[in-house]
Amino acid sequence: MVAESVIKTVNLNCSYGDTTALKNLNIEIFKNDILGIIGPANSGKTSFLRALNRLNYLNPNYSQTGDIIFEGKNIRQISDKLLRKKIGIIFALPQVLPVSIFHNIAYGPKVHGITKKAIVEEIVENSLKKAYLWDEVKDRLDTMATKISGGQQQRLCIARTLAVEPDVILYDEPCSGLDPISTAKVEDAMRELKKDYTQILVTNNTKQAARVTERCGFFLMGDLVEIEETETLFTNPKDKRTDDYITGRFG
Amino acid sequence: MLAKGKKMNSAKRREKVAFVILGLITLLIVVPIVMTILYVVKNGAGAISWEFLTQPPRNGMKQGGIFPAIVGTIFLIIGTMLFSLPLGILSAVYLVEYAKDNLFTRLIKLSVVNLSGIPSIVYGLFGFTLFVVFLRFGTSILAGSLTLAIMSLPVIITATKEALESVPFAFREISLSLGASKWQTVRYCVLPYAIPGILTGTVLSLSRAAGETAPILFTVAAFYLPRLPHSIFDQVMALPYHLYVISTQVPNMPAKISFATGLVLIALVFLMNLVSIILRAHYRKKKQW
The reported pLDDT for the residue numbered A168 is 93
pLDDT, average across residues B135-150: 93
List residues bridging with A171 in a β-sheet.
A90, A201
Contact A89, B174 (CB under 8 A): no
Buried b or exposed e, range B86-107, using 16+ CB within 10 angstroms: ebbbebbbebbbeeeeeeeeee
Residue B175 has pLDDT above 80, yes or no: yes
The strand order across the sheet containing A215-220 reads A87-90, A168-172, A198-202, A34-38, A215-220, A223-229
Mean pLDDT of B138-157: 93
**Bridge partners (DSSP) listed for residue A218:** A38, A226
pLDDT mean across residues, chain B:
89
pLDDT for A2 equals 59
Q: Which residues of B176-199 are buried (b: 16+ CB within 10 A; e: fewer)?
A: bbbbbeeebbbebbbbbbbbbbbb
Look at B181 and A81 and tell me if their CB atoms are within 8 Å.
yes
Q: Could you tell me the pLDDT band of residue B280, with boundaries at 50, 70 and 90?
A: confident
pLDDT at res. B286: 64
pTM of the model: 0.83
Closest residue on chain A to B189 (Cα)? A97
Q: Which residues touch A163 (CB under 8 Å, ≥6 apart)?
A: A105, A106, A108, A109, A123, A124, A127
Question: Which tens digit of pLDDT belongs to each residue from B73-122?
Answer: 999 999 999 999 999 999 999 999 999 888 999 999 999 989 888 999 99
Q: State the nearest Cα–Cα gap between A85 and chain B, in angstroms.
A: 5
What are the residue boundaries of the structural domains of chain B, listed by start? Answer: 66-284
- What is the DSSP-derived secondary structure letter of residue B286? T
Residue A62 lies in a domain: yes
Q: How far is CA B269 from the centre of its chain?
A: 8
CB contact under 8 A, A164 and B170: no
Identify the closest residue of chain B to A53 by CA–CA distance.
Answer: B177
Cα gap B205→B273, rounded to integer Å:
11
Please report, for residues A52, B40, B226, B250, B264, the alpha-carbon distance to residue B53 in angstroms, rounded to integers and kept in the order given: 67, 17, 13, 20, 9
The C-alpha of A4 sits at a distance from chain B's nearest C-alpha, in angstroms, of: 25
Encode pLDDT of B191-202 as tens digits: 999 998 899 889
Q: How confident is the model at residue B228 (pLDDT cuts 50, 70, 90)?
A: confident
Strand partners for B112:
none
Chain B interface test: which of A59, A61, A97 (most B C-beta within 10 Å): A97
Closest CA to A43 of A27, A65, A62, A19: A19
CA B150/CA B214 separation, integer angstroms: 13
Query: Has residue A30 been placed in a domain?
Result: yes
- Amino acid (1-letter code) at residue B74: I
- Domain assignment present for A170: yes
Please give the residue range of the domain that contains residue A196.
5-246
Name the residue facing A98 among B101, B178, B286 (closest C-beta).
B286
Q: What is the model's pLDDT at position B3?
A: 57
pLDDT at A82: 92
| SS (HEC) of chain A | CCCCEEEEEEEEEEEECCEEEEEEEEEEEECCCEEEEECCCCCCHHHHHHHHCCHHHHCCCEEEEEEEEECCEEHHHCCHHHHHHHEEEECCCCCCCCCEHHHHHHHHHHHCCCCCHHHHHHHHHHHHHHCCCHHHHCCCCCCEHHHCCHHHHHHHHHHHHHCCCCCEEEEECCCCCCCHHHHHHHHHHHHHHCCCCEEEEECCCHHHHHHHCCEEEEEECCEEEEEEEHHHHHHCCCCHHHHHHHCCCCC
What is the mean predicted confidence (pLDDT) over B260-285?
89
Residue B79 CA to chain centroid, in angstroms? 13
Q: Are A107 and B288 an interchain contact pair (Cβ–Cβ within 8 Å)?
A: no
Q: Compute the distance between CA of residue B3 and CA of residue B208 in angstroms, rounded to an integer.
A: 56
**Count of domains in chain A?**
1
**Which residues does chain A have within 8 Å of residue B190's beta carbon, measured at their own beta carbons?**
none
Report d(CA A110, CA B196) in Å as an integer. Answer: 25
A61 lies within 8 A of chain B by CB:
no
* A234 close to A214: Cβ distance less than 8 angstroms: no
- Would the CA dihedral through B73, B79, B84, B89 be positive or negative? positive
C-alpha distance from residue A242 to each of A9, A48, A172, A223, B251 (Å): 22, 19, 20, 12, 94
Q: How far is CA B89 from its chain centroid?
A: 15
Amino acid at B87: L
CB B208 within 8 A of CB B152: yes
Q: Which amino acid is at A157?
A: C
Phi, psi of B228 (to 5 degrees): -85, 155
The whole-number pLDDT of residue A175 equals 86
Q: Does domain B66-284 have CATH number 1.10.3720.10?
A: yes
Residue A251 lies in a domain: no
Distances (CA, A) of A199 to A33, A215, B23, B142: 6, 11, 57, 60
CA–CA dist B137, B229 (Å, integer): 15
Q: In chain A, which among 153-172 make CB contacts under 8 A with chain B? A: 160-161, 164
pLDDT by position in tens, chain A (length 251): 457 888 999 999 999 988 889 999 999 999 888 999 998 888 889 999 999 999 999 888 899 999 999 988 899 899 999 999 999 999 988 889 988 999 999 999 999 998 899 999 999 999 999 888 899 998 999 988 988 988 899 999 999 999 999 999 999 988 887 888 888 888 988 888 988 999 999 988 888 888 889 899 999 888 888 888 888 888 888 888 888 888 877 64
**Contact yes or no for A66/A10 (Cβ under 8 A):** yes
Give the whole-angstrom CA distance, residue A157 versus residue A190: 12
Nearest beta carbon to residue B176 from set A84, A95, A112: A84
- Which among B114, B117, B206, B194 is positioned nearest to B162, based on CA atoms? B194
Under the banding of pLDDT at 50, 70 and 90, the label for residue B4 is: low
Asked if the C-beta of A3 comes within 8 angstroms of chain B's C-beta atoms, the answer is no
Spatial neighbors of A41 by CB under 8 A, at least 6 apart, are: A204
Task: Tell me if chain B has a CB within 8 Å of the CB of A113.
Answer: no
- CB atoms under 10 Å from CB of B154, counted, come to 20
| Kind and range of the H or E run holding B1 | none
> What pairs with residue B58 in β-bridges?
B63
- Mean pLDDT for B139-163 is 93
Tell me, what amino acid is at A172? D
